[in-house]
A and B are shown apart, each in its own frame.
Chain A
Amino acid sequence: MTTDGSKLGFYLLLAPILLWLVVLIILPHLGLFWVSISEKIGPREFQTGFGNYVTFFEEPLYWRTFARTAIMSILATALTLIFGFPIAYYIAKLTRGRTKTTLFLMCMIPFWVSELVRTFGWMILLRETGVFSNLLQYLGLVSGPVEFLYNDAAIMVGLVYTSILFMVVPLVTTLDSLDDSLIEAGYDLGGNSLSILREIVIPHAMPGIVSGCIVVFMLSLGNYLTPILLGGKDSLWFTGMIYTQFITRFNWELGSALGFLLLALSSGVVFLGLKLSRQSLADTMGRA
């Protein structure tokens, strides 16, 4: 009787996540896939085929934007790691108690504000009549207003800023678990800061690095707001292209195909990243 009862409890507890998976993830994707393999041959007339996918490869704008989005996202992930690692190391290893909590909170606080508001914050800083432009003019370094917005660098700044927390949190967690005596042992055996970082700290932090990178890469690749707002109309971000197909062009079939290609891209890059770093998904997600 008790086993029956506990079984029931198990399924009841499992139900929400199953429901969530099936209704909100699997069903929409099946629907989307179905739409993506429907070719429009006339008004309200469709036939099944991969024509939409062929269109993607035939039109350079599509696959160039696709490649550009992937490369920019990888670059954003790398930059986030480079900026996030020292922050995480400082919080995890060089501070104690209250200071640690305060610093960690200070990393979190910006995320209490919506992404939209934060991005507008950057626009206030970067626009032609913005803070940086005025500051440079005031200092006499430039003669006229400078536009910092609407270029790739602005997109990159926005992407790194938006996702840095998702790099710092898993890194702090893994670095926290690194025993200080291992670092001391490294020094004691004649290691210098660089070799200890390379041989002891980074191998230990690898699961955190990989899980942080996966999350940041996914967030950047699927980001819509930041590239559009900071990069302007010509930001050429793949999510923007999908949006255009669905909303402006009303071409759901091509939009779905592009969406599926984005899914394949993110899965492919994550898989490659895991292979290169010799980590398994279960390992990294379990530890971080």
Chain B
Amino acid sequence: MANPAPDLQCLDLTKDFDDFRAVDHVSFEVPQGSFFSILGPSGCGKTTLLRMIAGFQSPSSGDLLIKGASMIGVPPNKRPVSMVFQHLALFPTMNIGDNVGFGLRQRGVARAEIARRVDEILARVGLPGVAGRRVDQLSGGQKQRVAIARCMVLEPDVLLLDEPLGALDLKLREHMKVELKSLQAAFNTTFVYITHDQSEALVMSDNIAVMNRGRFEQIGPPQEVYHSPDTAFVAGFVGEANRIDARLVSVNGPVLTLESESGAALSVEAAQSGLSAGQRAQVFLRPEAIELTTSAEGLEGRENVTKGTVASVLFNGANSSVTVQHASGTPISVALPQTGDMAKLRPGSTVYTSWHPGRARVYPAPGA
């Protein structure tokens, strides 16, 4: 990065409410022009964090820098950030043009100049000529784009987005994900996006921070967060995963041998798990990491082969899955390829599951 100061930098940011710590020593930085997501379950402190960046709440300790300048004590209307609110907060008493021009009017920009820039920004978000319309005459997706235009017309250093897609229906949400990403690329502005929806974060982000109980559990690109989660929480929260509670039996170099609570033997590759024999652990296994076959042929020499029966088939197009019940233990979810004889699987069919030791992740069990 040629730019020495990142657009947004949080140093040891903490926020306490009475006796509750909403944000706990969070540090991160967002380089210019990138799409940064903060992903976490509701109540994890992500909204508080965003409101601190916007200036609506002040941190209990720590520092917040935008383009290298500290924002502590700077009121929200003086910060070079803009925010797209959860319910967009478009002003219902103004038409679209006045909504988008609001920020420019506050800056005392000349009337003609405002009109020109409003038209220009509306055209850039793909809504030319709507300036005269009322807010309630637009569809959900159009309002979304107006809300973004209203912020972008001010050319903020950082655009904050507070789960703006939450209120949209599924189809439109899928569409807006792609659109938001391309708008971000077109404006080349730093976006900080908070969401509890892991697919939104995975699709759009350059970097994702997974947040839990006021702390960042992991920061990294989507692929890294998905494929090599740092903690059990990240493995369980991002994407689908089967969790198997187990006990470590032995360590053979990078290969761990575990015994699940139901008595099945598991073999997992984990170079630095930090686990020692006898310790309780959790094994996370993605549904698509498990291979499904209808016969035992060709499985000789494979590891983690188990025979089971199909408990249920959940057809969902390309995302179909089956739950497989092994001789013991809880049923596991396995991705179902829509090919060949797999399409004929019915509840009660006998199947074999196998998975490569390198594709599972193992973590110490909480409290162990």
Contact = CB atoms under 8 A, between A and B. Distances in A.
A189 B106 contact: yes
Which residue among B55, B75, B85, B106 has the maximum number of chain A CB atoms within 10 Å of its CB? Answer: B106
6 contacts: A182-B91, A184-B54, A184-B85, A188-B54, A190-B154, A200-B93
Interface in A191-212: 191-192, 195, 199-200, 203-204, 206
A185 interface: yes
Given A190-B103, A192-B77, A185 B83 contact: yes
Contact of A189 (B56, B75, B154): B154
Interface of B: 54-56, 75-78, 81-83, 85-87, 89, 91-94, 102-103, 105-107, 150-151, 154
Contacts of A186: 91, 102
A187 interface: yes
A94 to B, nearest CB: 15
- For the residues of A in contact with B, the DSSP-based class is helix
B199 to A, nearest CB: 25
Contacts of B102: 186, 189, 191, 199
Given A195-B106, A199-B94, A199-B102, A187 B89 contact: no
A179 B107 CA distance: 24
Contact of B77 (A179, A181, A190, A199): A190
B95 to A, nearest CB: 12
Given A179-B89, A181-B89, A199-B94, A188 B106 contact: no
B82 A188 contact: yes
Contacts of A189: 77, 82, 102-103, 106, 150-151, 154
Interface of A: 179, 181-182, 184-192, 195, 199-200, 203-204, 206
B77 A185 contact: no
A182 B89 contact: yes
A62 to B, nearest CB: 43
Q: Among A186, A192, A203, which residue has the most Cβ atoms of chain B within 10 A? A: A186
A97 to B, nearest CB: 16
A203 B102 CA distance: 14
Nearest to A192: B77
A200 B91 contact: yes
A191 B102 CA distance: 8
A151 to B, nearest CB: 41
B161 to A, nearest CB: 12
A220 to B, nearest CB: 29
A204 B90 CA distance: 12
A187 B75 contact: yes
Nearest to B147: A185
Nearest to B102: A189
Nearest to A185: B89
Contacts of A206: 93
B152 to A, nearest CB: 11
Given A189-B106, A191-B102, A203 B77 contact: no
Contact of A188 (B83, B87, B91, B94): B83
Nearest to A195: B106
Contact of A179 (B75, B87, B103, B151): B87
B93 A203 contact: yes
A185 B146 CA distance: 13
Contact of B106 (A179, A181, A191): A191
A189 B89 CA distance: 11
Nearest to B101: A189
B312 to A, nearest CB: 43
B77 A204 contact: no
Contact of B87 (A181, A195, A199, A200): A181
A192 B81 CA distance: 16
A189 B105 CA distance: 10
A190 B106 contact: yes
A187 B85 contact: no
B91 to A, nearest CB: 6
Nearest to A189: B103
Given A187-B55, A190-B107, 12 more contacts: A181-B87, A182-B89, A184-B85, A185-B91, A188-B77, A189-B77, A189-B103, A190-B106, A190-B154, A200-B93, A204-B92, A204-B93
